[in-house]
């Protein structure tokens, strides 16, 4: 799942040197291990934060939000349609869920 997430994020144009990139790949792995986290966004952020010293759940949320905002600022429309969605402003939780569902379909 991690490699699929990395490929999708690169295709979307999210800079690989941002923390959000790392946290989104961690989120995809965590959701893959426990699908219940897909619906508990704050708990997901806490799980990711535990992996890194000095990182809080709010820092994880902010980094992920920033990474997704990079996608909307520099839209690669084809990639966004493939991995996320073009419909309005979406929350991190919705975008993470959509990305996970679409990555999961790619794996199958």
What mean pLDDT do residues 26-40 have? Answer: 86
- Domain ranges in the chain are 2-107
Please give the class, per CATH, of domain 2-107: mainly alpha
More confident residue, 52 or 70: 52
Instruction: List, for residues 47-68, the tens digit of each pLDDT value.
Output: 999 999 999 999 999 999 999 8
Which pTM does this prediction carry? 0.88
Can you tell me the distance from the alpha carbon of 58 to that of 52, in angstroms, rounded to the nearest whole number?
13
Question: Three-class SS of residue 75?
Answer: coil
Residue 61: CA atoms inside 13 Å, Cβ hemisphere, count?
A: 14
Instruction: Quote the pLDDT of residue 36.
Output: 75
Question: Three-class SS of residue 76?
Answer: coil
Name which of 39-43, 59-63, 68-72 the model is least confident about: 68-72
């Amino acid at each position: 799942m991690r490699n699929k997430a990395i490929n999708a994020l690169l295709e979307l144009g999210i800079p690989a040197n941002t923390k959000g990139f790392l946290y989104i790949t961690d989120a995809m792995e965590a959701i893959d291990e426990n699908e219940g986290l897909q619906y508990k966004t704050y708990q997901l952020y806490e799980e990711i934060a535990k992996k890194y010293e000095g990182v809080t759940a709010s820092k994880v949320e902010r980094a992920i939000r920033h990474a997704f905002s990079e996608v909307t600022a520099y839209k690669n429309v084809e990639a966004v349609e493939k991995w996320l969605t073009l419909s309005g402003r979406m929350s991190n939780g919705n975008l993470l869920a959509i990305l996970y569902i679409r990555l999961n379909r790619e794996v199958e």
